[in-house]
Amino acid sequence: MPKLGQHFIEEMINPSMYASQWFITVFSYSFPFPMTLRVWDVFLYEGIKVVFQVGLGLLRFCHDDLVKLPFEELLHSLRYFPDEATDPDTLFPLAFSFKVNSSLEELEKEYRKRLDGPNASSSSSKRLLPLKSKTMSRAVSQVLSISNVGKK
């Protein structure tokens, strides 16, 4: 949807202005309850990719209207969709026409390569561990030392 993407750039609309709510609530904030149940059913079965698919389906369904709207109306429209856009019989076929699985796997591979860095061997099967900050390490040390005081 290059025309819509260009319009978002012109209106200075960043995906975090609307899509973060989609991901945080898995559409339970803005969808009618029956539609939310359908989205959550698919979400629990197939995972996060359905959030991408439904989001892209909504953008495609509302494309012609969204490209005409100014900033304020655009943000409102990206939060509150018309009833016909949230009809599962209309939205799901459109949403499932987007194939996002391979793209997510490619992004994960790219992320792992960047994390491993240029000196990592290709045969290593490192497991990704969460990064700890110095502050977090100090906090954990303090908690452990406090809990050991009572044991002495």
Note the pTM of the prediction, 2 decimals: 0.63
Under a CB-based contact definition with an 8 Å cutoff, are residues 94 and 53 in contact?
no
pLDDT of residue 61: 94
CA distance 20 to 24: 6
127-151, pLDDT tens digit by residue? Answer: 444 444 444 455 555 545 554 544 5
Where residue 119 falls among pLDDT bands split at 50, 70, 90? low
Handedness of CA 70, 33, 87, 92 (dihedral sign): positive
Percent of the chain with pLDDT over 70: 74
Look up residue 90 and give its two tokens. 């209309």
Nearest in space to 31 (alpha carbons), one of 92, 98, 80, 70: 80
- CATH fold for domain 2-101: Cyclin A; domain 1 (1.10.472)
Under a CB-based contact definition with an 8 Å cutoff, are residues 27 and 86 in contact?
no
SS3 label, residue 132: coil
